[in-house]
Amino acid sequence: MKQNLETLCIHGGWHPTKGQPQQLPIYQSTTFKYDTSEQMARLFDLEDEGYFYTRLANPTNDAVAAKINALEGGVGCVLTSSGQAASFYAVFNICQAGDHFVTSNNIYGGTFNLFGVTMKKLGIECTFVDPDWDDERIHAAFRPNTKCFFGETISNPGGCVFDIERFARIAHEHGVPLIVDNTFATPINCRPFEWGADIVTHSTTKYMDGHATQVGGAIIDSGNFDWETGTHRPSRPDLQPLPCREGSGHHLTSEETAPAQVHSAPLPTREGQGGGSFSCLTQPDESYHGLTYTKAFGRKAYITKIVSQLMRDLGSIPSPQNCFLLNLGLETLHLRMQRHCENAQRVAEWLEQNPKVGWINYCGLPSNKYYALAQKYLPGGSCGVIAFGLKGTREEAIRFMDRLQFVSIATHVADARTCVLHPASHTHRQLSDEQLRQAGIAPDLVRLSVGIENVQDIIADLEQAMA
């Protein structure tokens, strides 16, 4: 039976039967026992499915991955030990030394550094593009060795809404997939696969967990990118079309399998500019039984390679205990997102009319540059994170934060508790003012992550601190 997102938040992934625990058990075990040597050998020959070592698979982790996969509408999901590991693996899975990719410059500071500095040391180069540029300027960033395009649905902390359908079309014209970090929107508010994205990543540390208990990440594969031809195939003929999004933006999706219905049609690729050259997926992997991922796993080629190659060689799995905590968060994700968005909208409206506030960036405000895009991609609400600048000096902004009472200064966002951060003096300290501007961050930007407390209490705390 097809289930709505709210139901999947509760029931997705773990399906207990007779006498099994109602709540997902924590399989806190590195290894799994077999009775005969032959049983074990069959697992290693890929002739049988079964658990043998938690770096590759664990029942608790798998159940949570299946829930997130169902929420996004993918063909498979892998959990990682952090959002950073998810971003790295998502790109590294299809890029090697000598390759190139294109990324929005309006992204999380950690990702900006990973892509621009650390991956460069591995011989993988990227070009940062401003998502506000026109199509021609963005096309110009692609090269023959470009392997993917990356962006964030709602950027952290810039608050830029990524025009997923437009950037999917551009990526597909160059024969490469679009990877979208959907951390801030969560699948409750946006499902990028419906707009043509091919791969979705998450920092599950944020809203998915929502209680600041674990650091984690996720990668979900739509199964819609054909690695052999470098084209995007929107839907599977063997699957029934899903009902279109309406009203709240909530829609039906069937668990485990169905890729989301996609609005855009596939486009011809541009001659000679990237495209179709994903030999890491279409040629035999000598380190993995000489298997060719696309031949052996079809639509699950990309996601299977992450487990069987990257997890095997690099690790970065979450602990089953952390997956259990993440799952508790997911059970209320739909309720929390709604309250985060309602509260943030009220706080944003209050800040906008406050004479002490110099500027504000929240895509739910009609005056916002990204309002139209937010209405298109996030009709049911965006997220709880607001960026604003106070009139006055940088020191006054710091004093404002120090005077807050229950609103806390924390290097964290997207949590039940309201918190603030000054990226220029905290998370992005290592960036110069020029790099800050390149990453779309004003030096006076205050990032306010609106929680799920009483909204009048939140506003009262902000007001007394500003006074």
Our CB check for ligand PLP shows the closer of 82 and 261 to be 82
Chain residues in the site for ligand PLP (CB under 6 A): 82-84, 87, 108, 110-111, 152, 156, 181, 183-184, 203, 205-206, 215, 217
Shortest separation between residue 412's beta carbon and ligand PLP, angstroms: 9
Type of residue found at 157? P
Shortest separation between residue 252's beta carbon and ligand PLP, angstroms: 27
Shortest separation between residue 113's beta carbon and ligand PLP, angstroms: 11
Our CB check for ligand PLP shows the closer of 25 and 110 to be 110
Shortest separation between residue 81's beta carbon and ligand PLP, angstroms: 8
Our CB check for ligand PLP shows the closer of 111 and 282 to be 111
Shortest separation between residue 85's beta carbon and ligand PLP, angstroms: 7
The tally of CA atoms less than 13 A away on the side-chain side of residue 34 is: 15
> Alpha carbon of 213 to those of 210, 225, 338: distances in Å?
8, 34, 21
Report H helices in 243-306: 279-282, 293-297, 301-305
Our CB check for ligand PLP shows the closer of 108 and 297 to be 108
Our CB check for ligand PLP shows the closer of 150 and 195 to be 150
Shortest separation between residue 240's beta carbon and ligand PLP, angstroms: 33
CA 367, CA 276: separation in Å to the nearest integer? 42
CA 382, CA 161: separation in Å to the nearest integer? 9
Shortest separation between residue 90's beta carbon and ligand PLP, angstroms: 11
CA 77, CA 100: separation in Å to the nearest integer? 24
Kindly report the CA angle at 459 between 215 and 402, in degrees rounded to 5? Answer: 65
Residue whose CB is nearest to ligand PLP in the complex, by number:
83
Q: Which residues contact residue 177 at a Cβ distance below 8 angstroms, ignoring those fewer than 6 apart?
A: 94, 148, 149, 171, 198, 199, 225, 232
Sign of CA dihedral 62, 65, 67, 73: negative
Return the HEC string of 222-239.
CCCEECCCCEECCCCCCC
Kindly report the CA angle at 76 between 105 and 253, in degrees rounded to 5? Answer: 95
Shortest separation between residue 264's beta carbon and ligand PLP, angstroms: 24
Our CB check for ligand PLP shows the closer of 77 and 301 to be 77
- The secondary structure of residue 440, as a DSSP letter, is T
What size, in residues, is the chain? 467
Our CB check for ligand PLP shows the closer of 376 and 412 to be 412
Our CB check for ligand PLP shows the closer of 168 and 219 to be 219
